[in-house]
Amino acid sequence: MFQTLYNYFWWERLWLPANLTWADLEDRDGRVYAKASDLYITLPLAFLFLVVRHLFETYVATPLAGLLNVKEKVRLKATPNAVLEKFYTATSKHPKQADVEMLSKKSGCTVRQVERWFRRRRNQDRPSLLKKFREASWRFTFYLIAFIAGMAVIVDKPWFYDLREVWKGYPIQSMLPSQYWYYMIELSFYWSLLFSIASDVKRKDFKEQIIHHVATIILISFSWFANYIRAGTLIMALHDSSDYLLESAKMFNYAGWRNTCNNIFIVFAAVFIITRLVILPFWIMHCTVFYPLDLYPAFFGYYFFNFMMVVLQSLHIFWAYLIIRMAQKFITGKVVEDERSDREETDNSEEEEEVAKNGPLSNGHPVLNNNHRKTD
DSSP assignment string, 44-106: HHHHHHHHHHHHHIIIIIHHHHHHTT--PPP-PPPPP-HHHHHHHHHT-SS--HHHHHHHHHH
CB 243 within 8 A of CB 139: yes
Per-residue model confidence as pLDDT tens for the chain (376 residues): 777 887 778 888 788 888 788 888 888 877 888 888 899 999 999 999 999 999 999 999 999 999 998 877 777 788 888 888 888 888 888 888 888 888 888 888 888 988 888 888 888 778 888 999 999 999 999 999 999 999 999 999 999 999 999 999 888 888 999 999 999 999 999 999 999 988 887 777 678 788 888 988 999 999 998 889 999 999 999 999 999 999 999 999 999 898 899 899 999 999 999 999 999 999 999 999 999 998 888 888 899 999 989 988 998 999 899 888 887 877 776 544 555 555 555 555 444 444 344 444 333 333 333 333 333 4
Q: In angstroms, rounded to a whole number, what is the distance separating the alpha carbons of residues 368 and 352?
A: 8
CB 290 within 8 A of CB 164: no
157-168 burial, b for 16+ CB within 10 Å, e for fewer? Answer: bebbeebeebbe
pLDDT tens digits, 285-325: 999 999 999 888 888 889 999 998 998 899 899 989 988 88
The burial of 182, by beta-carbon neighbours within 10 Å (0-12 exposed, 13-18 middle, 19 or more buried), is given as buried
Which CATH number does 82-125 carry?
1.10.10.60
Q: Which residue ranges make up each domain of the chain? A: 28-68+128-332, 82-125
